[in-house]
Structure 1
Amino acid sequence: MEFFRAAAVARLLAADVLWFGIGELSKVLLIFLACLAPVALAARAGVRSASVDQINAARALGASPWQVLRHVVFPAALPEILIGLRIGMGVGWTTLVAAEMVAAQAGLGQLVLNASNFLRTDVVLMGILVIGLFAGLFEFGMRCLERVLVPWKGRA
């Protein structure tokens, strides 16, 4: 599965670099496109998780469409949205490292790639550990944010 994701990222990066060059814009656009699908699909699933009974009850109590959205739909969708953001953050981080390996002059991905070309195993291992450490910190931060924003969901 990872091979197919890496191949898809490489094809998208190649087209992205052809259109926008090697600059920062192409990397930002690539990361945005990689993160868009998981976040959008999770938001859609979250909005669909709001039950019709809850929406009808809010309407029966005189809630405006904006109040229904704010007090019923958004709280029901927030757990799924946060899960989509966690997934998107992981996809974005791996895409960033891959983009740095392919088309960058600096960054962790470029550092690891250059070190591997010169057989600097210590730098490669340290780069991989730093990449993993940051991924773990991002995950930990998102889980803490989930605990604060959606305490009714339970422990994540």
Structure 2
Amino acid sequence: MPKSRLFLGKPATPGKVYGAPGAGRSGFISFMTAVALIALWFVVTRMGLIKPIFLPSPVAVYDKFIEAMTEGVANSTLAQHTGASLARVMGAFFLALVTAVPIGVLMGVNRIARGLFDPIIEFYRPLPPLAYLPLVIIWFGIGEFPKIFLIYLAIFAPMAIAARAGVKSVSIEQIHAAYAMGASSTQIIWHVILKAAMPEIFTGMRIGIGVGWTTLVAAEMVAASRGLGFMVLNAAQYLASDTVIMGIIVIGFFAFAFDLLVRYLERLLIPWKGKV
């Protein structure tokens, strides 16, 4: 009976009898899926099956993109809106990176730190940012800091939990072997635990940057005058669906681009992932 091709994207690697489930490249399939969706968008709007106020045509969205780049929308150009949002998201991301990862690692290696931080993180992690947005405004006002702080809180929890999970995934045999060779506790953490936890940490970074972009719209509800989230919210008030869709596409583009960047850094910095 011939072997099923369901799980095989290409012939099995030499030395392997069976291909792994899900093996093979899917880039072409993803590209064709995107092309099919855009083509369906063209057909539906061209035939008038959906009113433009609900779903404008791709041409109308493109024209709005050009207008936003040149003349601007909501009192700023698209570049200015994008720059403001990038500054907020990336500022919150790097702030979370230098705080959440060390705390997550500390939670994994120290029971006192775990007892201190775990209840706090697990309590607020499931809460939607809009739930504690009023409290952030009361505490910090309506300036730039509360916007960044709101995004920071959303990113912090998944990154800290991922770092802690990475520490817990370290093989105890590796730790015992390092101790047997005379390594100190600091060397164990730095050279054994942290390196072994890197794949989980990068997963937390990918999740965190995604959560940061999803929190952007909520953050820019706080008396913002620029930003992609502000632009989308402002357009929604006037039922300008072409601007809304254009803003969603731009946000999605940058979120996807940063995810690809983190994936690239992951392959570059931890080439052993999935091989040991």
Tell whether 2:140 aligns with 1:34.
Answer: no
Q: Which residue of 2 aligns with 1:123?
A: 243
Q: How big is the shift at 1:6?
A: 10
Q: 2:170 aligns with which of 50, 58, 67?
A: 50
1:45-85 superposed Cα distances (whole Å, 9 cap, x missing partner): 00111111100001101112222122211111111011111
Structure 2 gaps, min length 5: 1-124
Q: Which residue of 2 aligns with 1:59?
A: 179
Structure 1 gaps, min length 5: none
Aligned AA (1:47): V
Q: Distance in 2 between matches of 1:153 and 1:6?
A: 29
1:3-62 superposed Cα distances (whole Å, 9 cap, x missing partner): xx9972112111101111111111111111111110111110001111111000011011
Tell whether 2:162 aligns with 1:13.
Answer: no
Q: How big is the shift at 1:104?
A: 1.5
Q: From the two aligned structures, give the one with the greater helix fraction.
A: 1
- Across the aligned residues of Structure 1 and Structure 2, the Cα RMSD in angstroms comes to 1.9
- Alpha carbons of 1:7 and 1:57: their partners in 2 closer, same or farther (altered >3 Å)? closer
Q: Distance in 2 between matches of 1:142 and 1:92?
A: 14
Aligned AA (2:151): I
Aligned AA (1:138): F
Tell whether 2:220 aligns with 1:100.
Answer: yes
Q: Which residue of 2 aligns with 1:72?
A: 192
Contact persistence 2:142–2:222 (CA under 8 A) = no
Runs of 4+ aligned residues of structure 1 deviating over 2 Å after TM superposition are 5-8
Aligned AA (1:111): M
Asked which structure has the greater CA Rg, the reply is 2
Q: Distance in 1 between matches of 2:232 and 2:175?
A: 52
- Please report the TM-score for the alignment, with normalisation by the length of structure 2: 0.52
- Please report the TM-score for the alignment, with normalisation by the length of structure 1: 0.89
Q: Distance in 1 between matches of 2:171 and 2:198?
A: 14
Q: Which residue of 1 aligns with 2:262?
A: 142
Aligned AA (1:126): M
